[in-house]
Structures are given as C-alpha cells and as structure tokens.
Copies of this chain bind each other. A is one copy, B any other.
Amino acid sequence: MKLTRRVKEILSWYESDNPGTKANLARILMEGKLGGTGRLVILPVDQGFEHGPARSFAPNPAAYDPHYHFELAIEAGLNAYAAPLGPLEAGAATFAGAIPTILKVNSSNSLASAKDQAVTGSVADALRLGCSAIGFTIYPGSEYAFELMEELRELAEEAKSVGLAVVVWSYPRGPNLDKVGETALDIAAYAAHMAALLGAHIIKVKPPTEAISLEAAKKTYQAHPIEVQDPAKRIAHIVQACFNGRRLVVFSGGEAKSADALLNEVKAIHAGGGNGSIVGRNAFQRPKAEALQLLSNIIEIYKTKP
C-alpha cells in the first residue's frame, strides 16, 4: 500500500519517532474512506464510562453490544475506533486487522467527585489487543492535572518505545475554570498546546467558543486579534497552537445534536485546517442507517479541497 504524499508529509512531522510509531500513524491515516487525505474521522466509545450505559446506549440499544461499534466504524469507513479495555477485549479478535484501534488507558465516571481519571489500561494491553495507539485524557486546570500529566508521560514514553502512537484528549476543567472557560478559545488553544508539549501525536479538543477566558491572556488577544466570530478562524488558532500544524488535531462532536449543527461544525474544522473529527454520541446514539449517512456526510466535507 503506497502512502500518499500528504501522509508522508504528515509522518515527516513526527521526526523523532521510531518507524513503529510512524507505521501505526500511517495505518490510521491510510484507513477508511479518508485514507490518504490526511483527514481523520475516529469513533470513540468511552461514554459508557463517563455517563453510564443507559445515557450512552439507550437511544440506540444495539450499541450496548461492543461488536456494534467495531461494525459501525468499519462500515462507515472511519480511520480508527477508540475504547476502554473491556470493549476492545470483547471484539479485538473478531475484528483483528479490520480497523486500527486506540486503547483508552484512563477513564473517569459520573459517580466520581474528583476531576481525575483512573488508569484502566496498559501499554501491554494495547500490544496484546493489537492496538495502534493508546489514548489518554488530561484535565488541564484540575487539581489532578499534574498527576495526570505525569501518568501520561510515563505511559507515552513506554508506548513510543514499542511503536505505538499516543492520542491525548485535552479537556480543561478545574477550580479556575467556569463552564465558559472550559471551551473558551484561549483555554482550548492552551489545552491543545499542552498536549503537544507533552508529546502527543494526535490531539483531541472540543471546538472552541468565541470566549477569551483567562484574565492574563486578554491583553494578548486584544493586541493580536483573531476573528473569533468565524468558527474556522477559531479552529485555525487551535491548529496554530498545535505546533503550527505539526501535530494532528481532531475535534470532538460533543453532545448529541442535530445533523446540521454537527455538519456546520465539521465545515468549520475543515475550513480552519483541523485534521478531522472524533464523533462518538452523534454517531452511535443514532440508528445505524442514520449514523452511516451522517458519517458519510462528514467524510464528504473532509474530502472536498479546502
């Protein structure tokens, strides 16, 4: 399978990584309907941990079965499927080699009070399950942010040494951040940047709002203004924060919403130079046919020339 020029260019950004990690990034980038374009759509299913089974799967009960998500990701022609240990164990043999997988190695849940996560998977698990990457969430701003970063550091170092890629979910929250702050443009850019600084290969953040939240940052954004009303410009700023585009950055779809709202978000990501989407609830909470249609529409947007 010849890599496209674009994928080769992307791999060249990861110049310190060993060929094993590059090969796993290549596998993700060459898979599915966007294979070779440098754009990505990933299916993440960690909402069972985050919100519980009913809130995650009752809208589409077929999704209670871990095999469903493998099938959805494969049929939709996505680039990768991300999940915690249990669901991957429940399907990794049946779908071995059929789609790159990302083992989410830490997890939080709605019953917990701390803005922390438990480490629930290992690099050895990722290898025995045939994963291409590990996924890890950090909460910049949380009282546990430093611990989370240190856990990530350790797991990422090990993952890279055995040729796995590292995907970092960077979700700001904590005592210094109100609801607005968690998705404010400056904070989202900061969160993405920290993931890059920590050595992530692929960064996942939420699409930012127009808000500028950090007092200390306001002066900067006034002096160097961004057209925050234009969502594509906001995305472009996040891309800038990811080493000026030298690191892949994908955006979560967030809560289930109307197809139109989601597609508009995707258009902005596309226009702003984001590398793709990571669509969970908006995919698996819809009936399969509807989900496949929606994912197909998303993919079509990413396929158009920017």
Show the binding face of A for B, using Cβ within 8 Å: 1-3, 7, 11, 13-27, 29-31, 48-49, 51-55, 57-59, 61, 64-66, 74, 84-99, 107, 109-114, 116-122, 124-125, 127-131, 140-141, 143, 145-147, 149-150, 153, 157, 161-163, 172, 174-177, 186-187, 189-190, 192-194, 196-200, 214, 216-217, 220-221, 223-224, 237, 240-241, 243-244, 246-247
Given A64-B244, A124-B157, A220-B54, CB of A145 within 8 Å of CB of B111: yes
Pairwise interchain contact A22-B141, C-beta atoms closer than 8 A: no
Q: Nearest 3 CB-CB pairs, A to B?
A: A26-B97, A23-B130, A19-B92
Pairwise interchain contact B146-A96, C-beta atoms closer than 8 A: no
Q: With A and B bound together, what is the CA distance between A122 and B149 in angstroms?
A: 13
Residue from the list B17, B74, B119 in contact with A89, Cβ < 8 A? B17
Pairwise interchain contact B193-A223, C-beta atoms closer than 8 A: no
CB-defined contacts of A57 to chain B, threshold 8 Å: 240
With a 10 A CB-CB cut-off, give which of A48, A84, A129, A244 has the most chain B CB atoms: A244
CB-defined contacts of A93 to chain B, threshold 8 Å: 11, 15-16, 18-19, 22
CB-defined contacts of A237 to chain B, threshold 8 Å: 54
Further 9 A-B residue pairs, CB within 8 A, beyond A1-B31, A3-B96, A24-B97: A11-B96, A24-B130, A53-B240, A61-B224, A66-B243, A84-B198, A111-B214, A127-B127, A127-B162
Given A93-B15, A190-B111, CB of A128 within 8 Å of CB of B163: yes
Given A16-B93, A26-B97, CB of A153 within 8 Å of CB of B59: no
Pairwise interchain contact B53-A190, C-beta atoms closer than 8 A: yes
Pairwise interchain contact B15-A122, C-beta atoms closer than 8 A: no
Closest-by-CB residue of B relative to A238 is B53
Closest-by-CB residue of B relative to A139 is B111
Q: With A and B bound together, what is the CA distance between A29 and B109 in angstroms?
A: 32
Pairwise interchain contact B120-A49, C-beta atoms closer than 8 A: no
> Smallest distance from the beta carbon of A120 to chain B beta carbons, Å?
5
Given A107-B197, A190-B109, CB of A18 within 8 Å of CB of B54: no
Pairwise interchain contact A240-B86, C-beta atoms closer than 8 A: no
Residue from the list B65, B114, B189, B244 in contact with A52, Cβ < 8 A? B189
